[in-house]
Amino acid sequence: MIQGLFLLSSILEKKSISIFDGLFYLDSLSAIMIITISLVGFISSLYSVNYMGRQYDKLIVDRQKLVRYYQGFNMFLFTMLLVPISNNLGIMWIAIEATTLVSVLLIMLYTKQGSIEASWKYLLIATVGLSLALFGIILFYYANSVYDNSFNSIHGMDWTNMVKNAPQFDPNLVKFAFIFILVGFGTKAGLAPMHTWLPDAHSEAPSPISALLSGVLLNCAFYGLLRFHIISSYSIGPEFSNMLLIILGIISLGIAAASIYFQKDVKRMLAFSSVEHMGIISVSMGFGVFLGIYGAILHMINHAVVKSLLFFSSGSISQKYQTKSIADTSGIIKTMPITGFMFLIGGLAIIGMPPFNIFMSEFLMLSSGFSSENFLASGLVILFLVIIFASFGKHLLHMVFGNPKYEMEKGDLGKLSILPMIILVSVIFIMGIYVPEPLQTLIEDASKIILVGGANS
Amino acid sequence: MSDFSIFEYGLGILQALLIIVLSPLIVGIMRKIKAKSQKRIGAGICQPYYDIIKLLRKDEIVSDQSSWIFRVTPWINFVTTASAAFFIPVFLIYSPFGVVGDVLLVVGLFALGKFFMMLAGLDVASSFGGLGSIREMMMSVLVEPALFMTIFVIALFYDGTNISTIVSSANDTSILIVPGILFALIAFFIIMMAETGKLPFDNPSTHLELTMIHESVVLEYSGKNLALMEWSHAIKQMILFALFVDIFFPWNFVEQISLVGISIGILVFITKVSVLASFTAFIETLVAKWRLFRVSDLIAMAISSSMIGVIFFFL
Amino acid sequence: MSDLILPTQIDLLHVSAVILLIATFGIVVRRGFSDWLHAYRYQTIILAGVVTLIAFVTSIWELYIVSALTLGIKAIIIPKVLFYVTKKLDSPIKLEMNPYVSLRISVIASALLVAMSYFMALQLPISSDKTISVFLPVSFSLFFIGLFIIISRRKALNQIVGLLTIENGLFLFAVVVTHGFSLIIEIGLMADILVGVIISSILLFRMSHTFDSVDIKNLESLRDD
Amino acid sequence: MAFVGFGTKAGMVPLHIWKPKVYASAPDNTSSLMAAVMLKIAIYGIVRHLFDFNAIDSSPDYVWLGMGIIIIGSISALVGILYALVENDIKRALAFSSIENVGIIFIGLGLSVVFAAFHLPSLSVLSFIASMFHTLNHSIFKGLLFMTAGSVHYSTHTKNIEDLGGLIKKMPWTAMMFLIGSVAIIGLPSLNGFISEWLTLQSLLAVFQIPSNVLQVSLAFAILAFALTIGLAGATFVRLFGVTFLSKSRSVNAANAIEVPKFMLIGKAILASSCIILGILPFIGMNLIVSAFNLPYMPSSPFETISITNSDDSNFASLMMPGVLVILTSVFVGVFVFVRIIGGKTKTMKYGTWDCGFGNLSEKTQYTATSLAEPIRRIFGVFYKPHNDIDADFYTKKNLYLKKSINVISTTRNIFDEKLYGKTISGSLFVLNKIRKIQSGKVNAYILYIMVTLVALLLFVGFGTHE
């Protein structure tokens, strides 16, 4: 049965790429999103087999819940895939809202106190945020409908249509609308100070779901933000939205730095690290030069990969140690050598150590920051990155090395849990040294889509 | 506007006298309606008159702890309230005394009466008087902002705080109520209930110390003084009712001064006030007394209601 | 479009806007669970009426459908679901005892929010149309008061009602600004809300099973300190 | 212009004589300092304003200056009276009430600047007169009140109103003076405080002539603060007068008090009668101000009606105090005759206050000053941070209902004093730790963040584009 559902998920992935008619629109930006979603989705379904199987063996979940898990999992993937391919922004919004609803169901799978709490907060905050986003979307639609004489109700909301008319939009309207969009999608994308649902949801969800939430869902929401960033850049020039993106990005970095420093829970630490990386992406995007945007897109992919690796390994680790506390988890490398090694690699990658992939994209971001003469912003980013580097590194070293608190059986948690991680680690290494040619062109094209938006006006 | 004939001043005095004389009748009507809606028979509607006359003829007892403040208060209270009646249009669209004072003066006169009433409550050295005063004090502190905001709204919409101006411009506007005024109406109604000691705020028909506000202040009064206190309370209520109908339902004022016109005007006025009085009486039978500290919720409602009224004006 | 609207219609629009605002205040001042739901239902019915009114004024026939949909889904089905949930909840006391912000301050704060909404609406460069200029601030107000309800209350049910109020504001906004932008999206939205309400009802059940109450003070264990 | 300084000085003279004495006796430095500094700023503001009276243009600077003055005024009015209300030391209560009145003066002054900035000269002059008239009035009745408080202190040796009471029988004239001062200061009709507060309020009501919606609605809030201040002032002086002079004496000192010597009463009598004269004939005072400041306003006879007209010359509001007096007197005469005719001659007996049949009505059953302030203290609890120390002594440990004695110490905190001592400890870790607390676990707070972010960004952008 599990295999069957897994197959279904792969089919869904394949099928979704082929959907292509008037309502949907694909460019290199969406292609990148789809690649990321498919990759992470595929690997986490692979990992789920082991992870959920174990949960099932330990009687944490019953059969019914298992079925619900896989149904939800596939629905979740489907809704996320719907986001980048829809051209109609209304449908995009509905898809994003649907991801919320589906993922709430997934988070509350365990029906423990913590998961109920997390899902309640997630539902409430994300819905409120997305309502704001819808406000913004409607405002954009209004701006569009005023200037498009031939508009009919369906295509008035098409992104392509809006981009075409964007230069004629009323600048004040665009500014207001963009703020709503920014706060709205920013909530879903985990930009501070609207990120508060994120640590709870990520730490309480089953690990494969955490990986999806962190690696992909945030990207999806950010993708939505990006689409409007492009429209607004066409309309009033990129300076306005760039500035806002930088501000929110830096706040995210600061809050993440503070929270990681004092963190006691592994998964929450990872969640805050997601906030940090969304901040990095946002700042990098906000610098508004080609190199920065290129770096940001690259960073989206890299972060998705690395963070999934970390969530998988930490999932395995917490299954083994029966705790999520950082203080109680030590000496992983002794008890579960391979997983520990993977965790170490993931951790080093996420804090931006060369030669891993995140280093590349962070480096690109910083250099673009200095080249675009955003010295204050770049300085703050470096400051926060150093804090995060130190604190995350401290926690990481404590967990991986050191001695286990009490004796436990050596050994990893089966091949199916190792395999996904190995795939991810190899991706990390490859991306760290060299970005494959087709991907490189894709990213370049995507960056041009975003950048040209600004250059035109 | 400022030149009135002696005749018109006479009419103005007639208006004031009407308010003063009719006020116990309204109290009687309200009591009757309350009694009826509670399936009691109730006293006749003229009972308040009999009460006042009877009390006026009685000897009185004054607390030996009290000072002249206690004895002078009923007079001050009555004089201020009755004077306020001079500024209220009844059947004419204006009051000839409008030049002398505006709605703020009316509020001020009420406050003067209330000030002395609170002092009198404290004067008798009993804990009941203190209790009444303090509650009255709290209520008036809270009502004040709501009242002024409402006046502000009304002044904005109807160009001024001069009552005659307000009423005439209210009369000129269309029948469809302006949204801002709708909010002022809600606020004013709440304030009216609070100021006249109506049910969610105060329960005047009981002598239980937990519930009473106004009654515990006048607890020590008897004879003439009590009659004056009760009467002035009735006048105050009448004035507020009259203001309410003048501002929010300004129809059928006398245009030409003639005997028939005036009598029709008076009749219409009495009907309007009686309808309002019955409405308030019904509301009173419907609600229970609120806990003292929840009263502020209602007043907050009045404040915000009038604030929204202000906002509506500026749009 | 605007030249077709008669003065009395404008008055009607104004008055209906006022009534809608008052209905929204109804949610703010109540304490009981079922009181909120009633207030919400009234508000939604008025909203549907407003939409019909707008449909009548602007003579766009899609809006009649939208209004009917609103009435059906939001004024009948959603309150039904929530009433069912309330009835089934374990906790015997179905009152908001002490919200974070006391009721009287809430009322004043809501009034302030209404003021803010009007300013925001003034700032926005869309007021060519009379219906827009009347209802835009009202929809903002609904939106912000909904947000405020969520912020200030302790009971999960009330937060759902707040969410629904936000949604009503959003809906009014959408209808007013775009005149029913697209039936498909409208229906998608409604479905979203419905699913959202059902999911949150499930959550409410779980909550009341696990914690014996729907007070969100039980939901404060996940934090950083 | 030579009159300017003189006029200001003249208005402030009684204050100059009495204030230092009072402040010297007040132990609390911060409150007196606050009042003194604010008075100085007020004078400075007046003079500065006068020098620029014709030079004010509609540049936003002046609008913001005016608004700033109004905001400071509203806040200090409210804060001052709130602290006066719970204060048990009679002189300190009066000092706090000075803060309130300076606040009211500021409101008028600020309005004047705002109106001038929007080229509304007549309104500007109106609110300026309101403000100056209140300054004059305040100096009169506050002088009166401080003097009577001084008399009370002189004959009872205490300033704590909890130990006073019943003084109206011992010191009738002083009580009378204090009553007049109180009625004047809380702005009740027929005394001078009413006129200046009426004028201030009218100029607040006139804000609809300003061509800016934001300012109009903000000034509506000033009305709210102003009205609350007036209401609270009423409560404050009911409490001060009631507890000090009425009912039974609460201590031996108060019971043995005697009236102060005549020469001490004369000064007060002068001030009290000027309260009454300025109340009935406000034009005397207003003319004084107009001529002192050389204002473009036509003074006329003392019996003139104060009349404010709209932009279209219709009557906005008017006030004729002599007329009010006539009405009051005639009503009094009328009702007196009426009562005599209907009621006839009746007897008045003296008897003890109703004591529920328990007998022995002692001074302890009456309301104390603290308990009089209690409901308001509770309602504005956010502000006072009230704190009750309840110390109960029981007959037996088992039954907690039979109490032998209860000792309640009820305190309020002056949050402004506390706020002055800032938290100086900080370090990067501390800051980080604070930031971390954002994740408080409360979903309400989280949504609040979203709202605040949204509004902050909107403001940020809204103001960025429109100015």
Q: How far apart are CA D127 and CA D105, in angstroms?
A: 10
Q: How many CA atoms lie within 13 A of A397 on its CB side?
A: 6
Distances (CA, A) of D116 to B184, B192, D4, D120: 30, 37, 19, 6
pLDDT digit string, tens, across residues B16-49:
888 899 899 999 998 898 888 888 888 888 899 9
| pLDDT of residue A20 exceeding 60 | no
Q: Which of B79, B86, B214 is nearest to B139 (CA)?
A: B214
Interface membership of A53 toward C (CB under 8 Å)? no
Closest CB to B315: pick one of C11, C103, C118. Answer: C118
The pLDDT score that the predictor gives to residue D256 is 80
Phi-psi region of B19 (alpha: psi -120 to 50; beta: other; left: phi over 0): alpha
Mutate which of C181, C195, C197, C201 to test chain A, going by most A C-beta atoms within 10 A?
A: C181
Q: CB atoms < 10 A from the CB of A236, how many?
A: 21
The position carrying tokens 């309104």 is D123
pLDDT digit string, tens, across residues A108-162:
888 788 888 888 888 888 988 888 888 888 888 888 777 655 445 556 677 777 7
Contact B176 C25 (CB under 8 A): no
Whether residue A2 lies inside any domain: the answer is no
Mutate which of D457, D458, D459, D460 to test chain A, going by most A C-beta atoms within 10 A?
A: D457
Distances (CA, A) of B279 to A422, B182, B189: 80, 17, 11
Chains contacting chain B through 3 or more C-beta pairs under 8 A: C, D
Q: How many residues does chain C have?
A: 225
Considering chain C, what percentage of its residues have pLDDT values greater than 90? Answer: 0
Q: How far apart are CA C67 and CA C196, in angstroms?
A: 20
Search chain A and give the residue with CA nearest C212. Answer: A113
Of residues C210 and A22, the one with the higher pLDDT is C210
Of A273-287, C109-123, D210-224, D442-456, highest mean pLDDT: A273-287
pLDDT digit string, tens, across residues A343-362:
888 888 888 777 788 888 88
Residue A379's φ and ψ, nearest 5 degrees, are: -60, -45
Is the CB of residue A339 less than 8 Å from the CB of residue A332?
yes
Name the β-bridge partners of D89.
D160
Considering chain B, what percentage of its residues have pLDDT values greater than 90? Answer: 8
- Residue B62: in which H helix or E strand, if any? strand B60-63
pLDDT digit string, tens, across residues A294-327:
889 989 988 999 999 999 888 888 888 888 888 8
Is the CB of residue D154 less than 8 Å from the CB of residue D118?
no
Torsion of CA D151, D152, D156, D157, to 10 degrees: -70
Average pLDDT rounded to a whole number, residues B231-235: 91
Is the CB of residue D343 less than 8 Å from the CB of residue B57?
yes
| Three-state helix/strand/coil letters over B256-307 | CCCHHHHHHHHHHHHHHHHHHHHHHHHHHHHCCCCCHHHHHHHHHHHHHHHH
| Shortest Cα–Cα distance, C80 to chain B (Å) | 28
Q: Which residues of A245-257 are buried (b: 16+ CB within 10 A; e: fewer)?
A: bbbbbbbbbbbbb
The pLDDT score that the predictor gives to residue A277 is 92
Please give the single-letter amino acid code of residue A395: H
Residue D389's φ and ψ, nearest 5 degrees, are: -100, 110
Is the CB of residue B309 less than 8 Å from the CB of residue B181?
yes
Closest CB to C18: pick one of B179, B297, B304. Answer: B179
The pLDDT score that the predictor gives to residue B79 is 92
Q: Which of B309, B313, B294, B2 is nearest to B183 (CA)?
A: B309
Q: How far does Cα C51 stand from its chain's mean position? A: 14
Q: How far apart are CA D175 and CA D406, in angstroms?
A: 34
| pLDDT of residue C4 exceeding 50 | yes
Of residues D434 and B281, the one with the higher pLDDT is B281
The pLDDT score that the predictor gives to residue D390 is 63
Q: Which of B11, B21, D216 is nearest to C119 (CA)?
A: D216
Three-state DSSP state, A158: strand
| pLDDT of residue C103 exceeding 50 | yes
Q: How far apart are CA D77 and CA D223, in angstroms?
A: 12
Alpha-helix runs per DSSP H in A193-351: 197-204, 207-212, 218-236, 238-261, 266-287, 290-321, 332-335, 337-350
The pLDDT score that the predictor gives to residue A156 is 66
Q: CB atoms < 10 A from the CB of A100, how many?
A: 24
Mutate which of A183, A203, A383 to test chain D, going by most D C-beta atoms within 10 A?
A: A183
Three-state DSSP state, C120: helix
Is the CB of residue C31 less than 8 Å from the CB of residue C104?
no
Q: How far apart are CA A216 and CA A222, in angstroms?
A: 10
Contact A179 D457 (CB under 8 A): yes
Q: How far apart are CA D240 and CA D181, in angstroms?
A: 12
The pLDDT score that the predictor gives to residue C59 is 75
Restricting to D residues 191-210, those with a Cβ less than 8 Å away from any Cβ of B are 194, 198, 201-202, 204-205, 208
Whether residue A228 lies inside any domain: the answer is yes
The pLDDT score that the predictor gives to residue D25 is 45
- In the structure, what pLDDT confidence band is assigned to residue A274 with cuts at 50, 70 and 90? very high
Would you give the end-to-end CA distance of chain B in angstroms? 31
List the single range of C161-170, C209-218, D458-467 with lowest mean pLDDT. D458-467
Contact B162 D235 (CB under 8 A): no
Q: How many CA atoms lie within 13 A of C152 on its CB side?
A: 23
Q: How far does Cα C217 stand from its chain's mean position? A: 24
Please give the biggest Cα pair distance in chain C.
61
Domain boundaries, chain C: 2-218
| pLDDT of residue C214 exceeding 80 | no
Q: Which of A40, A177, A43, A21 is nearest to A88 (CA)?
A: A21
Name the β-bridge partners of D388.
D410
Is the CB of residue B180 less than 8 Å from the CB of residue B153?
yes
DSSP letters, A435-453, are --HHHHHHHHHHHHHHHHH
Which regions of chain D are under pLDDT 50? 1-34, 36, 51, 415-426, 464-467
Closest CB to D319: pick one of B101, B156, B164. Answer: B101
The position carrying tokens 């205490």 is D158
Q: CB atoms < 10 A from the CB of C68, how many?
A: 13
Relative to beta strand D348-351, strand B60-63 is parallel
List the single range of A56-70, B289-303, C26-40, D412-426 with lowest mean pLDDT. D412-426
Burial (CB < 10 A; 0-12, 13-18, 19+), residue D259, is middle
pLDDT digit string, tens, across residues C34-75:
888 888 888 888 888 888 888 887 777 778 888 888 888 888
Torsion of CA A284, A290, A295, A296, to 10 degrees: 50
Chains contacting chain A through 3 or more C-beta pairs under 8 A: C, D
State the DSSP code for B88.
-
Return the structure tokens found at D15. Answer: 């204050």
Please give the single-letter amino acid code of residue C137: P
Please give the biggest Cα pair distance in chain B.
60
Q: Which residues span the domain enclosing A270?
A: 126-456
Q: How far does Cα C219 stand from its chain's mean position? A: 24
| Three-state helix/strand/coil letters over chain D | CHHHHHHHHHHHHHHHHHHHHHHHHCCCHHHHHHHHHHHHHHHHHHHHHHHCCCCCCCCHHHHHHHHHHHHHHHHHHHHHHHHHHHCCEHHHHHHHHHHHHHHHHHHHHHHHHHHHHCCCHHHHHHHHHHHHHHHHHHHHHHHHHHHHHHHHHHHHCCCEHHHCCCHHHHCHHHHHHHHHHHHHHCCCCCCHHHHHHHHHHHHHHHHHHCCCHHHHHHHHHHHHHHHHHHHHHHHHHHHHHHHHHCCCCCCHHHHCCCCCCHHHHHHHHHHHHHHHHHHHCHHHHHHHHHHHHCCCCCCCCCCCCEEEECCCCCEEEEECHHHHHHHHHHHHHHHHHHHHHHHCCCCEEEECCCCCCCCCCCHHHCCCHHHHHHHHHHHCHHHHCCEEEEEEEECCCCCCCCEEEEEEEEECCCHHHHHHCCCCCCCHHHHHHHHHCCCCCCHHHHHHHHHHHHHHHHHHHHHHHHC
Q: Which of D154, D142, D155, D153 is nearest to D182 (CA)?
A: D142
Closest CB to A114: pick one of C126, C196, C221. Answer: C221
Is the CB of residue C17 less than 8 Å from the CB of residue B180?
no
- In the structure, what pLDDT confidence band is assigned to residue C3 with cuts at 50, 70 and 90? very low
Closest CB to B123: pick one of D231, D246, D335. Answer: D246
The pLDDT score that the predictor gives to residue D44 is 53
Q: Which of D369, D363, D366, D367 is nearest to D158 (CA)?
A: D369
Q: How far apart are CA A55 and CA B182, in angstroms?
A: 62
